[in-house]
Amino acid sequence: MAWTKKLTQLNDVLSDLIPQKNGITKFILAAGLKPQFIDDSGNAIDVWNRVLLEADKRDKVSDLINSLLDSYPENPFLKAALSSKEIDYSLSPDIDKISQWNAVSADTLEVLTMGQNTLLPINFLAKGILKSKAVAKVEMKTGTNRYSVGTGFLFKINGIDDLFFMTNFHVINRREDIKKTKIIFDYELDMEGNSLPSKSFSIEDGAVWYCSAVNQLDTTVLRLKDDNDELKTYGYLELNEIKIADSEFVNIIQHPGGEMKQISLYHNIITYRDERKIQYLTDTLKGSSGSPVFNSDWEVVALHHSGSEKKRDEAELPSGVRSRNEGILINKIIEFVRDSHKN
């Protein structure tokens, strides 16, 4: 019995959804498994690992996923796990291997929990819709019925006429993968909940290709093929150098797990910033690598590139809040593109 990457990803998802051991048993029973055959020692990640091993042995992985979908019907990773298409959404590098995570301060938690005014003008929503048009799904075929996924966006920089597309270096970084990669716009729902007709573009080979490694800016900048002048439909995000305040709120437009476009609006607050990166609490899901991080004025402040869960010795956060997320400050990326483009 082989432990596949798909099971590894599913183990991660399940321990994320149900992080307490005492919440696991009901799903074991609902899947037709017997709890007495499963060792419940260790933490929730360990228990879910053994549950999946037992489910795989008894050909009940789908039953287990369906039992969880009853409680989490919109979870994109559970839905993807039932698909025959194998999707790699665990693209994000481990934040502990590429950065030092800075603990959340008491002042930041106070902003989250003490009822700070979060009212915004109603045109905030209309502006967000316009900005979202430039955000696309990145899909790379990695084998027979296997794909890796991420997010990216069209952008321009003041003083440069070229229209660029940006994602993470860890999403795409090899020219030989260009022909296997599609950039998909309008992969989302309309006002009635129906799927919009999406449009795919390929990457222009032999054109712009600016890369900065994971432990630097984790950025790949490229140009899309647009023979029929169709990209203008999606606009672009104008990048400008910005200043970020402590405990500022951010919003993230993304394609989590390769699913349709979504937005993360709640609980997102900056916890740390320096000249290279920002770190923030967020309810962003896995698979959001390459997403633009916006402030409340819909200015791009960072390129999202890494996230992980709270460690055991870290302070408890308010319900629903996920921690340990990081983006590369957009000022550094603007500087990188300017320097690369003039050479």
pTM: 0.77
What's the pLDDT score for residue 1? Answer: 46
pLDDT tens digits, 49-77:
899 999 998 999 999 999 999 988 877 77
| CA separation for the pair 3, 15 (Å, rounded) | 17
Rounded Cα–Cα distance for residues 196 and 329 (Å): 32
Mean pLDDT over 257-278 rounds to 80
Span 262-288, average pLDDT: 76
> Would strands 199-201 and 181-185 be described as parallel, antiparallel, or unpaired?
antiparallel
Give yes or no for residue 3 having a pLDDT over 50: yes
pLDDT of residue 184: 95
| pLDDT recorded at residue 317 | 57
For residue 298, report the phi and psi dihedrals to the nearest 5 degrees. 60, 35
pLDDT over 90 percentage in the chain: 39
* Least reliable range by pLDDT among 75-84, 121-130, 310-319: 310-319
Amino acid at site 46: D
- DSSP, collapsed to helix, strand or coil, labels residue 182 as strand
Beta strands 86-88; 146-157: pairing state: parallel
Distance, in Å, from the CA atom of 242 to the CA atom of 296, rounded to the nearest integer, reads: 13
Assigned CATH class of 95-125+238-330: mainly beta
Which overall architecture, per CATH, does domain 135-237+336-342 show?
Beta Barrel (2.40)
On the CB side of 99, CA atoms within 13 Å amount to 27
CB 56 within 8 A of CB 134: no
Q: What's the maximum distance between 2 C-alpha atoms anywhere in the chain?
A: 66
Average pLDDT for 175-198: 89
- Let me know: does 255 contact 187? Beta carbons within 8 Å: yes
Residue position matching structure tokens 């309810």: 283
User: Tens of pLDDT along 130-178?
Assistant: 999 999 999 998 877 778 888 999 999 988 999 999 999 999 999 999 9
For residues 204 and 181, what is the distance between their CA atoms, to the nearest angstrom? Answer: 11
Q: Which residue has the higher pLDDT, 97 or 42?
A: 42
- List the one residue out of 332, 173, 198 whose CA is nearest residue 258: 198
| pLDDT tens digit sequence for 208-266 | 999 999 889 999 999 999 999 999 999 999 999 999 877 788 888 888 777 788 887 76
State residue 146's pLDDT score. 78
Residue 200: pLDDT above 90? Answer: yes
User: Exposed (0-12), middle (13-18) or buried (19+): which is 247, by Cβ within 10 Å?
Assistant: middle
pLDDT score, position 311: 55
**81-90, 111-120, 293-302: least confident range:** 111-120
pLDDT given for residue 109 in this prediction: 57
Judge whether residue 99 has pLDDT over 90: no
Asked if 154 contacts 235 with a C-beta cutoff of 8 angstroms, the reply is yes
- Identify any residues that bridge with 303 across adjacent strands, giving them in sequence order: 292, 328
